[in-house]
Amino acid sequence: MTLNNDKAVNEKIRPARMGDVKEIHALLQHFSRQGLLLGRSISSLYDHLRDFVVYDDNGLQGVCSLHICWEDLAEIRSLAVAEQAQGRGIGEALVRACLREARRLEIGRVFTLTYQAPFFRKLSFVEIDKRDLPHKVWSDCLNCPQFPDCDEEALIWTAENN
């Protein structure tokens, strides 16, 4: 269910800041322990802080990042919404913020590897064969406990179709 007042949600989305790193880490680790996403180290979060947007409502309730992979390809990764905040359109708003940033940067294709494919399909992502993604994409996969037996689905969004 999407929150009726999208503006209220969007007003609470902002770029991540240095002071957010520990909260981002805690939120991602919570879902990583459940096997729902790949955890990130504190060091990695500092290294890639500019990739992240957060939903801040008296504390971080959601996070998402847009990681640039190649000239015209980026990845939506580390999407997490605190359980008590789910179902209010926060995840959708975070992904849409990342897609707006992709357009601003003139990145025409954005993919995701996910266990939540129906969620991304609602946002105009379509299935793609993982083997069609560049090898550079797989650097994080090598560190994943699921590798090489990953059962995440690959989906892609293209600017020209949206």
More confident residue, 68 or 39: 68
Residues near 112 by beta carbon (within 8 Å), at least 6 away in sequence: 75, 76, 77, 79, 120, 125, 154, 155, 156
* Stretch 32-51: mean pLDDT: 92
Q: Tell me: the pLDDT tens digits for 67-83?
A: 998 889 999 999 999 99
- pLDDT tens for residues 136-145? 555 555 555 5
Q: 6-161 adopts what CATH topology?
A: Aminopeptidase (3.40.630)
Cβ-contact 16, 63 below 8 angstroms:
yes
Higher pLDDT, 150 or 77: 77
Indicate the domain borders of the chain.
Answer: 6-161
Determine which helix (DSSP H) or strand (DSSP E) holds 111, and give its type and residue range: strand 109-114
